[in-house]
């Protein structure tokens, strides 16, 4: 039983070793360059590219979430490299959505309303092979669909676009957590908050009108049928029938509308 007992270190010995390690500095000594070089050259965990819809969805920002982040510090940095579901069609056309990456945050000279909130923020979004400015009203609150994800994935392959990595996902989760938890801790007037506009601070564009569901990023499950505008029909008077010459009642016949040959 003696050799088998030595397989486990005594508890007191382990506790002494832990106390010694806590008392020892974890910093490499300056006079030991080999140890310092070894510490700095340790390879980091390899970052794996995002390959599934569920992984990419962790980087998705909705219009509602962006509105919550408008007053946070570091708004530009938090939004950078996140993804949104973007309506690429103009007004009056059925919406068509693409997965787009936020490249840059910019501001307009005039403000506009997004769900009754005044802002002048626009986003430079990359989708397919273009980068264009879009307002927050073009961003959907709905999740990515499988078809949209496959189109985005194929486009990344064709355009040789670098895929987001799991390291980026982890970093963005921390950025979003810190930004949302810092919201409201140090309130400041809207004029000092990124993306928020105070009343009468700049000219505002009128609120756009449209379908309620479409304005909130959704699509109707049916095709809207609008009544056709039909021009009013003007009734055409019927021609009067000629009255017979013989009148047994003794009344004078009504004047005929047909000419009698110049009489």
Domain 53-206 in CATH: superfamily? Plus-3 domain (3.90.70.200)
At 201-224, the pLDDT tens digits run: 566 666 655 555 555 555 555 555
Can you spell out the DSSP letters for 36-80?
A: HHHHHTPPPPPPPBP-SHHHHHTTB--HHHHHHHTTSTTHHHHHT
Residue scoring higher pLDDT (224 or 114): 114
Contact between 67 and 86 (Cβ < 8 Å): no
Position 256 scores a pLDDT of 54
At 241-255, the pLDDT tens digits run: 766 655 555 555 555
Query: What percentage of the chain has pLDDT greater than the value 70?
Result: 57
Position 85 scores a pLDDT of 97
Position 214 scores a pLDDT of 53
Residue scoring higher pLDDT (99 or 37): 99
Question: Does 186 score more than 50 pLDDT?
Answer: no
Position 84 scores a pLDDT of 98
Position 190 scores a pLDDT of 44
Summarize the confidence of residues 124-139 as an average pLDDT: 93
Residue scoring higher pLDDT (155 or 182): 155
Query: What percentage of the chain has pLDDT greater than the value 90?
Result: 37
Summarize the confidence of residues 66-95 as an average pLDDT: 90
Domain ranges of the chain: 53-206
Summarize the confidence of residues 36-60 as an average pLDDT: 76
Position 39 scores a pLDDT of 47
* Exposure string over 169-203, b if 16+ CB within 10 A, otherwise e: beebeebbeebeeeeeeeeeeeeebbbbbeeeeee
Position 90 scores a pLDDT of 80
Q: What's the pTM value of the predicted model, to 2 decimals? A: 0.59
- Residues 129 and 44: their CA atoms lie apart, in Å, by 32
Question: Does 236 score more than 50 pLDDT?
Answer: yes
Summarize the confidence of residues 101-126 as an average pLDDT: 91
Residue scoring higher pLDDT (230 or 211): 230
């Amino acid at each position: 039983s003696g050799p088998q007992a030595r397989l486990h270190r005594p508890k007191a010995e382990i506790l002494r070793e832990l106390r010694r390690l806590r008392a020892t500095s974890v910093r490499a000594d300056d006079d030991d360059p080999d140890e310092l070089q070894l510490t700095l050259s340790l390879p980091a965990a390899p970052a794996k590219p995002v390959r599934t819809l569920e992984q990419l969805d962790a980087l998705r920002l909705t219009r509602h979430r962006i509105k919550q982040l408008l007053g946070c510090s570091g708004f530009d940095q938090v939004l950078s490299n996140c993804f949104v579901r973007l309506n690429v069609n103009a007004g009056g056309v059925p919406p068509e959505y693409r997965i787009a990456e936020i490249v840059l945050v910019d501001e307009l000279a005039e403000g506009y309303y997004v769900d009754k909130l005044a802002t002048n923020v626009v986003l430079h979004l990359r989708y397919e092979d273009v980068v264009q400015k879009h307002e927050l009203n073009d961003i959907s609150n709905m999740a990515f669909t499988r078809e949209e994800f496959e189109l985005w994935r194929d486009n990344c392959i064709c355009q040789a676009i670098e895929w987001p990595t799991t390291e980026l996902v982890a970093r963005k989760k921390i950025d979003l957590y810190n930004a949302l938890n810092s919201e409201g801790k140090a309130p400041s007037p809207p004029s000092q908050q990124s993306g928020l506009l105070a009343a009468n601070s700049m000219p505002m564009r009128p609120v756009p009108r449209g379908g309620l569901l479409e304005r909130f990023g959704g699509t109707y499950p049916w095709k809207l049928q609008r009544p056709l505008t039909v021009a009013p029909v003007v009734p055409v008077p019927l021609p009067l029938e000629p009255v017979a010459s013989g009148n047994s009642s003794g009344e004078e016949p009504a004047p005929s509308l047909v000419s009698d040959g110049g009489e």
